Amino acid sequence: MPSTIEILQSLVNGVGVGLIYGLVGIGFCVIYNASGIVNFAQGVFVMLGGMFCQVLMSQLGLPIILAIAITVPLVALAGMAMELAIVRPMLHRGATLFAIILATLAAQIMIERITLLGFGDRPRTFPDFTPGGPLRVGEVAVGYQLFWILGCGALLVVALWLFFNRTRTGRALRACSQNREAAQLLGIPVARMMLVAFALSAGLGAIAGVLVTPTQYTAYNVGTPFGVSGFIAAIIGGFGRAGGALAGGLLLGVLQALAIVALGAGFKNVAALSVLLVVLMLFPNGLFAGFSLGARVHSK
């Protein structure tokens, strides 16, 4: 039987990872709202974020702030490239939904393999943003990176809320999510909005990747678990709501942490995927669909 300390410790870790899942989940929602498609390659942005940042720091010796400042726009560009090269031509040709999903999945495999060829299969990591720690609360150790994750997560949620409610672009994006044809008639450049959505979503993924890498590691194949977990977070939160996705991510992170204590680390993905199936089957509209949490991006 695991001790109370062990459970508390894993809960603390779960909150950190859960926030990351939440950020990835928001990325799913942003693209889904703008275009009506689910980007199965979402996890790859998390991988690229951690990877680019580590390479910039270790090979060019850049300070972490500068590395992050270069990484996030770079990954956002990758997101835009994906929209321009794959999603847009398929939408133009009236491709079926499953074909588009499949194309994004193929894009994920392609980016992963290119990363493998370019950077090798060695797991990489870099130190916490601030050295020192962990903070000890009784027996429970809280790494300083967790505070960074919490702080940046909160900041991002506020920034997203402001973006979607106070800026012209953000409102235009919301208009697209409610009714694309009506938005087009109002003179909103819907195609450009999709580009914005992909850039935003990829950028969010990159930030999540940079934040989470010090607490674990990044390698060419970490994308799929993050992508699937982010999707689960988005679904628990009732697909399309940023706040819901964040709450869903926290719930999933904590559940996963408890599963690690109970079943061992190997089965944490099995646990998360089983949660996904149960949620999909029992609550097809998400656990939090009934009430609105934070920034409500999408209305059905």
Partner 1 sequence: MTSRVTTFTEPAALRWQSVSPAAGAAMLAVLGLLSSDYVTTVLGFAFIYAIFCTGLNFFMGYTGQASFGQSAFAAIGGYGSAILCTDLGWDPVLALFATMALSGVAAVIVGYPTLRLRGHYLAMATFALGLIVYEITIEWTSLTQGYMGYAGIPPLGIVGFELPTVKHQLVALVVLALFGVAVANRLRRSRFGRALAAIAGSEPAALALGIDVARYKLIAFVIAAIYASAAGSLFAHFVGFISPEVFGVTMVVQSFTMLYLGGIGTVWGPMIGAVIVSVLPEALRGLKEMQDIAYSAILILVLIFVPRGLAGLSSLFARFRRNTEPL
Residues at the contact surface with partner 1, assessed by CB under 8 A: 37-38, 40, 86, 89-90, 93, 95-103, 105-107, 109-110, 113-114, 117, 224, 228, 231, 235, 266-267, 269-270, 273-274, 276-277, 280-281, 284
Question: What is the closest distance, in whole angstroms, from the C-beta atom of residue 181 to partner 1 in the complex?
Answer: 19
Residue for token pair 């059905």:
300
Question: What is the closest distance, in whole angstroms, from the C-beta atom of residue 264 to partner 1 in the complex?
Answer: 8
Helix-strand-coil split of the chain, %, nearest 5: 75, 5, 25
Distance CA 250, CA 17 (A): 8
By C-beta, is 59 or 96 nearer to partner 1? 96
3-state secondary structure of 298: coil
Q: Residue 132 is encoded by which pair of tokens?
A: 């020192």
By C-beta, is 100 or 204 nearer to partner 1? 100
Question: What is the closest distance, in whole angstroms, from the C-beta atom of residue 15 to partner 1 in the complex?
Answer: 24
By C-beta, is 31 or 72 nearer to partner 1? 31
Question: What is the closest distance, in whole angstroms, from the C-beta atom of residue 146 to partner 1 in the complex?
Answer: 26
Burial 43-74 (b: 16+ CB within 10 A, else e): bbbbbbbbbbbbbbbeeeebebeebbeebbeb
* Of residues 199, 228, 204, 206, the one with CA closest to residue 54: 206
DSSP 138-183: TTEEE-HHHHHHHHHHHHHHHHHHHHHHHSHHHHHHHHHHH-HHHH
By C-beta, is 102 or 142 nearer to partner 1? 102
Question: What is the closest distance, in whole angstroms, from the C-beta atom of residue 236 to partner 1 in the complex?
Answer: 13
By C-beta, is 145 or 177 nearer to partner 1? 177
